[in-house]
Amino acid sequence: MNHPLKSGWPYSAALRWGITQVGRRLRDRARAIGAELAFSHDGIRVTVNGRDVWFPLGQASLVWTILGMFSDFERRLVFDEGRPRPTADCRAPTWYRIPATGDRLRLPELPELADFCSGYLLRGKPSEGEVVFDAGAYCGEMTIVFARLVGGRGRVFAFEPDPANAEFLEANVAAAGLRNVVVLRRGLWRTSGRLAFHGGGGLGSHLEPGASNAEVEVLGLEEAAEIAGTAPGFVKMDIEGAEVDTIEGSLEFIARQSIRFAIASYHLRENRPTSSLLEELFRRVGYQVETGYPEHLTTWAWRG
């Protein structure tokens, strides 16, 4: 039986009214930045400075956010100049630009809008010749940034257990012509072994003990260093909450090293922010630690 409020003319009229209001607000927001916005059956088109940017039809709320920071977003776009108007089509996997390096990066979905790169590097960058671990490399943006920073004498080990993401990662590393990157289709965890994994591609893939999804191989930080042949000088992590388990399981190894960490810490563990849990762990082994950069909350730790 159809719900009386979700069938027939009143519901359809209300839905059309809501869509009309959303469209009107989006168009007004576009005009405020000198752009024109149009809806079609297969997407939302924003035209600005004689160039078209296409978005998925179901992403109206995200388009609203992007219009508020359009100049920053536009810097990331790679336009197809072979069309009647230069076009960036964000409705399907496409190329974006890495602002920090100018490299191109193919992504399966719209890029994260927060400037996470600046946060990871805020308390220091990897030096030329260093070894970097990029845990939760996704499609390779930070991997490529790190590879440019450490140069030909350095190495970047990019850990990405999601097969779909890893395919993009490997292709992006190859497209950038990098020979100092090793891609490992494994995750980091408190110990080595196999762990259930909630994947499927995208930014939200994560290790999930007890989940009934695919299994992936995981490594402890010390075992990862053995594969690399040396301890890393710099470790970046964004592994959807598994950062706490990885650090906790590797404390003895971390205590013997002098590693600089930059860890995404905006996740929650049992209603506690991972930032506070990470701070406690690092202080336990004598590291200095700080959390900041609210745009993409990051915890930095280093040997004092």
What's the pLDDT score for residue 201?
A: 52
CB of 37 closer than 8 Å to CB of 46? yes
Q: Is the pLDDT of residue 6 over 50?
A: no
Q: Is the pLDDT of residue 142 over 80?
A: yes
What's the pLDDT score for residue 215?
A: 86
- Taking only the tens place, the pLDDT of each residue in 25-52 is 999 999 999 999 999 989 999 999 999 9
88 CB-side CA count, 13 A? 23
Q: Compute the average pLDDT of residues 154-167.
A: 97
Domain with CATH 3.40.50.150 in the chain: 116-303
Give DSSP secondary structure letters for 211-242: -SS-EEEEE-HHHHHHHHTS--SEEEE--TTT
Token pair 């939760």: residue: 136
Q: How confident is the model at residue 146 (pLDDT cuts 50, 70, 90)?
A: very high
Using DSSP's 3-state secondary structure scheme, residue 184 falls into strand
Q: Is the pLDDT of residue 139 over 60?
A: yes
Q: Is the pLDDT of residue 202 over 50?
A: no
Q: Compute the average pLDDT of residues 186-203.
A: 79
What's the pLDDT score for residue 1?
A: 43
- Taking only the tens place, the pLDDT of each residue in 74-118 is 999 999 999 999 999 999 999 999 999 999 999 999 998 989 999
What's the pLDDT score for residue 205?
A: 45
Share of the chain above pLDDT 90, in %: 81
Q: Are strands 215-219 and 187-188 parallel, antiparallel or unpaired?
A: parallel
Q: Are strands 181-184 and 87-89 parallel, antiparallel or unpaired?
A: unpaired
> What's the mean per-residue pLDDT of the chain?
91
**Side chain identity, residue 194:** R
Q: Which two tokens stand for residue 189?
A: 């965890």
**Side chain identity, residue 214:** A
Give, for 164, the enclosing helix (H) or strand (E): helix 163-175
Please tell me the distance from the alpha carbon of residue 240 to that of residue 286, in angstroms, as a whole number.
25
Q: Which CATH class is domain 116-303?
A: alpha beta
Closest CA to 66 of 107, 87, 35, 101: 35
β-bridge partners, 87: 52, 80
Q: Compute the average pLDDT of residues 142-162.
A: 98
CB of 169 closer than 8 Å to CB of 205? no
Q: Is the pLDDT of residue 5 over 80?
A: no
pTM for the model: 0.89
Closest CA to 167 of 109, 107, 237: 107
Q: In terms of C-beta density within 10 A (0-12 exposed, 13-18 middle, 19 or more buried), how is residue 150 classed?
A: buried
What's the pLDDT score for residue 264?
A: 97
Q: Compute the average pLDDT of residues 187-194.
A: 94
- Taking only the tens place, the pLDDT of each residue in 292-302 is 999 999 999 99
Using DSSP's 3-state secondary structure scheme, residue 280 falls into helix
Q: Is the pLDDT of residue 136 over 70?
A: yes
Residue 267 CB coordination number (10 Å): 19
What's the pLDDT score for residue 2?
A: 47
